[in-house]
Each structure stands twice: as C-alpha cells, then as structure tokens.
Chains A and B, each alone.
Chain A
Amino acid sequence: MFYREAGDFKTTYRDDGQTFPIRLDRWGYYVILAAAFLVVPIYIDAYWANAVLVPFLIYAIAALGLNVLTGYAGQVSLGTGGFMAVGAYAVYKLMTSFPEVSIVIHILLAGGITAAVGVLFGLPSLRIKGFYLAVATLAAQFFLVWLFNKVPWFYNYSASGQITAPTRRVFGYAVTGPTTSAPAKYLICLCFLFVLAWAVRNLTRGTLGRKWMAIRDMDIAAEIIGVNPLTAKLSAFAVSSFLIGIAGALLFAVYLGAADANEAFGINKSFLVLFMIIIGGLGSIFGSFAGAAFLVLLPVLLKNILVGSFGWPTNLAAHIELMIVGALIVFFLIVEPHGLARLWQLTKEKLRLWPFPH
C-alpha cells in the first residue's frame, strides 16, 4: 500500500530490466543522488568529512570490490588490505614521478596496476577453492605489505618509511595534500564511488555477472553451459582488484595523506572490508553500501554516545566500543546471516502489503 507498484506496467524488456523497476524506488534514488551531489557539499565540514562521509565513501568502494569477488564470483579473499596497499603505493609513485598528469588519471592507473596484481594472485583460484584460496590470498596480504616496507624504492627512500601525498589539483581545487578542503575530499570520493558503483551494477546484471554467479553457485554446471572458469574467475579478480586499488589510492591520497603499509593496510583492513560485505550482504550492491555505512558509522555513533552523552573517559569508551561492535556483529550474523541487504528486501516486501497483509 505504502509501497505502490500497482499500475506501474512494463511493456518492454528494457523497462523490466532496469535497476529500479518500481517508480517509487527510482525517485528515491534520484533524490538521494541530488542530495549527495548538490546539498551535502554545501554543508559539509571537516568533522563530517573526516570522521564519517569520506571513510564511508572509500570503504564502500572497497566493499563493492570485495563483493564482486566474494559475493558475486564466490572466491574468498583475505588480501584486500594488500591490494589496497598496491593502489596506494602505485598512486604515490605515479604522483611523484609524473606530477604534471592529472591525479584522476593516476588513481585510475593505480586501479589498473592493482587489477594486474590481483589477477596474478588470483591464479591459484583456478586450482583451489574456499578456505585454501583464502589462505593463498592471505599470503598476498603479507607478501605485499612486506614488499612495500622492505623495498625503499616504493616509498622514494623517505627517512620515515612513510609515503606522503603531495598536493594535486582537479579544476584548480586541491584534492590531495594538507590544504584540501572538506567538500573537495568528499566530492572526488563521491564521483569515483558513483561511477564505479554504476559500472559494477551494469557488469553484474549482464553476461559477465551471470558468469560470475554461475561459477559461484555451481562451477560444474557453469562449465557445462559454456562458461570458461579461467576467464570468469580472473575477470572477477581483475574487476575486484581494480576497485580495491582505487579505494586504496583514495584512502592514502585523499583521506590519510600519509601512510605506512603496515599500519594502514595490514590484515585488519582485510578483515574490516570482509566484515562489511558479510554484514551488508554478499552479492548485493546495496549490501556493500550498507555494510560500509554500518562499520564506519557505528564506532562514531558509539563514541558520541559514550563520551559525549555519558561523559566516560575516552580510553574506556574505546574498549567498550570494540566490545559492542563485536557483539553486534555476532548478533547480526545469528539473526540475519544474509546481511542488511536481505533485511532491507524483507522490509520492502512487507511494505508492499502494508497495512493489509492478508
């Protein structure tokens, strides 16, 4: 009742196949887009950008990337942090080697380099599955971080061993470096997220997405209908690593400004992004957003409540916060193993009939 699709008839397959087939959904999507692009940049301040919105946008890209690989193609990966490091160090080397080229091109190239590395580490997936593949990608995680710490060429022989993003501009506005304004940080991440999410949606609804899902659901049957497992799995690794590389590049260049491979891209990062897609929903684009929002917002929210409202000491609040997040994750997995995306879908199904469910 509330959620009307009566009278919304489709007369072509094109209409039936669109992303938001229900009119109400479509309008909601346009409203959110307009607000995100036009309203938020006017009001955003440094706190909102640094604590909430920019990390959300960047982790949403990383979660989308991992969801392509794990949620759509069914290949478990624990190498997300390592691949993000590849994106970060690639964009750092490109920025410092070719300062005259636009940062946007550098970020895209960093994604491309990460895709190549991802395909390389994806090769074992042709032979091994499940837990064993997870361990193989774990090797990628440790190897890559070790490599970036050990070889000084990657951090331009800097004394601290850190990489630091120099200032780069897009249309005259600084998007990296210490002078970057909050709206600029927000907007560049939003643009990348919008374009990438749209492309992932298109890939997953078409031929390539069906190949990935076929491999995920039953690889033998996939092969019998003509899916080449080699190209299907490696393309999933490539697309996934491309997105994760871009997320890593943005995390370093736009958000952190300076990074150390061990601290910024350790195994914790791999688990964080994996939790995001598990809580958000495997094999769902909305789930990637929801999971990223949940794990970025929840700590901020808890901190505000515990420290801001209750006046607890910060270190105590930090520990309690970890415990609460952990408990919530466990609770969530028990109550709804298919994640927030499934919960959202159930809500929509209920709303279709509300308030007359019988």
Chain B
Amino acid sequence: MNQQMQDGHVTADGRQIGGVLMDMKNITLRFGGVVAIKDISFDIRQGEIRAIIGPNGAGKSSMLNVISGFYVPQEGEVWFRGEKRGPMRPYQVARLGIARTFQNIALFDGMTVLDNIMTGRLNRMKAGFFSQALWWGRAEREENENREQVEKIIDFLEIQNIRKTPVGRLPYGLKKRVELARALAAEPQLLLLDEPMAGMNVEEKEDMSRFILDVNDEFGTTIALIEHDMGVVMDLSDRVVVMDYGRKIGDGTPDEVRSNQEVIDAYLGVAHD
C-alpha cells in the first residue's frame, strides 16, 4: 500500500471517498502507427464516481479496455489496490474484482435474464465437476446461495417480472439494466460502465442515473464511466478526466473541468488563425 491509500475525504452529500484504488501511470497504447492513448496518467479513488469524457475517437473506450485487460498498453503501468498489475487476460482481471458493461450491449441472448445475471457470480462458485454432474452437495448449495444474492440485485434493479425471459426478447433499455445487473452480481470493487445511457430516452436515463448513484451509495462500489451526456456526467461524477486525440486535457471536479479552456476548445472547436 502506498502513501496515498491512507488519505480520504467526505463528499458534500456524505459519501466516504477513500485512497487510490486504481492508478494508471503514463499509459501509452498504439495500434501499429496509430497512437490511441498517449502518456496518460490518472487515478480512481475508492468509493468515487469517476467519469471519462471526450469527443469521438478520443480514446475513452480504449482506456476502458486497457483497464479491463482487452488491450495491453505498450508503455506505462496499471496499479490496482496498491499492487502493480502485470499483463493479464480479461478473465483474470475479472477475478481481481473489476466488472464492466459494454457500449453495445454484450449479453448472452440465448439465456434467460436470471441465467445471465447468474453468470456474474461464476467466479464465486467452486463446486467440482462431479458435484455438478450429480447435482449433489456443493453444486446445489452454491446454486441456491448465489441465487439468493442474484435475487437481491433483481429486486434492486426492479426487474423481477422478466427474470425468466430470454434476454434476446427484451427491449433495449431493459437489456442495459440486465447488463448492469450482471456486472453487479460479481460484487465488483471497481465497476466500469461504457456509455450506460447511450441511446436511452430521458426517462430511461433518469432511471439509470438513479441506479448508478444507488449502487455507489449502497454498495460503496467505485465506478468509472464513459458518457456523452454532459448533464448526466456533471451531475453524477465526483471527478472527470477529459481526453482528446489520445491525450489528457483536463482532470478535476466537474466545475474545474467545465471552466478549463482546453476542454471548452475541444468540445466547441477553436478557430485556427
């Protein structure tokens, strides 16, 4: 544990923000000659909601993919819970306690809502092969215990009535909610949300915002999210990273970011003279 883990503060609305949970140090990611992320450093603190914003093609999703292990950066270090993380496969990252959702929903269409959410708890189920084949002892016990946890999340996200519906039949907004449920079922320490409100109407956005705040508040889950709706970002997040063309151009509270000249230029465009 490094020194920064120790300090912390309490937000205006009374949530406890702890030390550094995840620290990205000088990350550079290249695809051949294209530099997607250029020497970016930022940290995510325990218990906060951290937003990553920026215009299209700024490298936000690449950054999320670096955190979740899809991409291995050519340079830089990823520190999680005070330990340096080596190159890892995504499933190993998941086992560290990092869950995520995708911009274009990545659910298992052939399975029911319940089964989809149960997959979020796969890493907590340790029954051996023969116990599963005989459905006896540990396998059955684990199934019922984890089902109980999953039912709590189903209650929390208010999707009780669709629990046995195949996911492929659900409308878009509900799919997004099921995907959040699956990520929550893993009881992650860090939850990554890639555009959780893309393509939603105002009402659905309000619901989703409420769920994100509730997750953060009730479970104390640290959340990092990418979002395009500036109103939502400014309302939800504690701190914001702003990216443009793979560089970091701003980092701070929503108010600081809003008044940053470089950020304003990136979003509104600037006259070249």
A203 CA / B95 CA spacing, docked (Å): 22
Segment 133-154 of A: residues with Cβ below 8 Å from B: none
Contact B127 A223 (CB under 8 A): no
How many A residues are at the interface, by size bracket?
A: 20 to 34
A218 to B167, CA, bound (A): 13
Whether B110 lies near A206 (C-beta < 8 A) is no
Q: Given A213-B111, A214-B119, do A206 and B139 touch, yes or no (CB 8 Å)?
A: yes
Contact A227 B122 (CB under 8 A): yes
Return chain B residues, CB-CB under 8 Å to A199.
133-134
Q: Nearest Cβ distance between residue A197 and chain B, in whole angstroms? A: 12
Q: Which listed residue, A217, A225, A229, A283, touches B122 by the CB 8 Å rule?
A: A225
Nearest Cβ distance between residue A96 and chain B, in whole angstroms? Answer: 30
* A213 x B108 contact (CB < 8 A): yes
User: Which chain A residues border B134 with CB–CB below 8 Å?
Assistant: 199, 202
**Other CB < 8 Å A-B pairs besides A207-B139, A213-B115, A227-B122, 13 of them?**
A12-B144, A13-B144, A13-B151, A202-B132, A203-B132, A206-B127, A210-B111, A216-B110, A217-B109, A221-B102, A223-B90, A225-B122, A225-B186
A208 and B115 in contact (CB under 8 A), knowing A17-B147, A217-B108? no
Q: Complex: how many Å from CA A228 to CA B129?
A: 15
B144 and A14 form a contact (CB under 8 A): yes
Q: Which residues of A contact B183 (CB under 8 A)?
A: 225
A224 & B106 in contact (Cβ 8 Å cutoff): yes
Q: Does B174 contact A (CB under 8 A)?
A: no
Q: Chain B, 200-213, contact with A by CB distance < 8 Å: what is the 0/1 string?
A: 00000000000000
A226, CB-defined interface residue at 8 Å: yes
**B residues 37-95 in Cβ contact with A at 8 Å:** 68, 70, 89-91, 94-95
Determine whether A220 belongs to the interface, using a CB cutoff of 8 Å to chain B.
yes
Partner of B125, one of A14, A207, A223, A224: A207
From the candidates A214, A224, A228, name the one contacting B68 in the complex (CB within 8 A).
Answer: A224
Q: Is A185 an interface residue (CB 8 A)?
A: no
Q: Are A17 and B102 in contact (CB under 8 A)?
A: no
Which residues of chain B are near A205, meaning CB under 8 Å? 135
Interface check A211, CB cutoff 8 A: yes
Chain B residues with a Cβ closer than 8 Å to the other chain, count: 40
In the bound assembly, the distance between CA atoms of A99 and B230 in angstroms comes to 77
Within B139-194, the residues touching A (CB, 8 Å) are 139-140, 142-144, 147-148, 151, 182-183, 186
B129 CB contacts on chain A under 8 angstroms = 208, 235
Choose among A213, A221, A224 the residue that contacts B110 (Cβ–Cβ < 8 A): A213
Q: Are A206 and B186 CB-contacts (below 8 A) given A220-B106, A226-B123?
A: no
Question: Do residues A211 and B90 form an inter-chain contact, with CB atoms below 8 A?
Answer: no
A227-B107 Cα distance, complex, nearest whole Å = 14
Give residues in B with beta carbon < 8 Å to A: 68, 70, 89-91, 94-95, 99-100, 102, 106-111, 115, 118-120, 122-123, 125, 127, 129, 132-135, 139-140, 142-144, 147-148, 151, 182-183, 186
Known: A207-B127, A283-B110. A226 touches B122 (CB 8 A): yes
CB neighbours (8 Å) of B119 from chain A are: 210-211, 214, 222, 225, 227
| Interface residue from B108, B125, B132 paired with A221 (Cβ < 8 Å) | B108
Given contacts A207-B122, A207-B127, A213-B115, contact A226 B107 (CB under 8 A): no
Note all chain A residues with C-beta closer than 8 A to B106.
218, 220-221, 224
Q: Kindly list chain A residues whose C-beta atoms are within 8 Å of the C-beta of B186.
A: 225-226
Q: Is the CB of B99 within 8 A of A17?
A: no
Contact of A225 among B94, B127, B142, B144 (CB under 8 A): B94
**B91→A206 contact, CB < 8 A:** no
Cα of A235 to Cα of B99 in the assembled complex, Å:
25
What's the Cα separation between A205 and B125 when bound, in Å? 13
Contact: B135 with A202, CB < 8 Å?
yes
Complex Cα–Cα for A235 and B128 (A): 12
Query: What distance in Å separates the Cβ of B70 from its nearest Cβ neighbour in chain A?
Result: 8
Which of A13, A203, A211 contacts B148 (CB under 8 A)?
Answer: A13
In the complex, which residue of chain A has the Cβ closest to the Cβ of B129? A208
Cα-based distance from A118 to B122 in the complex (angstroms) = 25
Question: Considering the chains assembled together, what is the distance between the CA atoms of A348 and B135 in angstroms?
Answer: 26
Query: How long is the Cα–Cα vector from A245 to B68 in the complex, in angstroms?
Result: 40
**14 A–B pairs (Cβ distance < 8 Å), ordered by A:** A13-B151, A202-B134, A206-B125, A207-B125, A207-B132, A210-B115, A216-B108, A217-B107, A221-B107, A224-B99, A225-B94, A226-B91, A226-B122, A227-B122
Q: How far is the CA of A220 from the CA of B148 in the complex (A)?
A: 27
Closest to B132 in A: A206
- A:212-247 near B, CB below 8 Å: 213-214, 216-218, 220-229, 235
Distance in angstroms from B256 CB to nearest chain A CB is 32
B contact residues around A216 at 8 Å (CB): 108, 110
Q: How far is the CA of A222 from the CA of B90 in the complex (A)?
A: 9
CA–CA, A220 to B70, complex, Å? Answer: 9
Are B144 and A218 in contact, CB atoms less than 8 angstroms apart?
A: no
Do B108 and A218 have beta carbons less than 8 Å apart? Answer: yes
- Cβ proximity bits A283-296 to B, threshold 8 Å, 1 near / 0 not: 10000000000000
Distance between Cα atoms of A208 and B139 in the complex (Å): 10
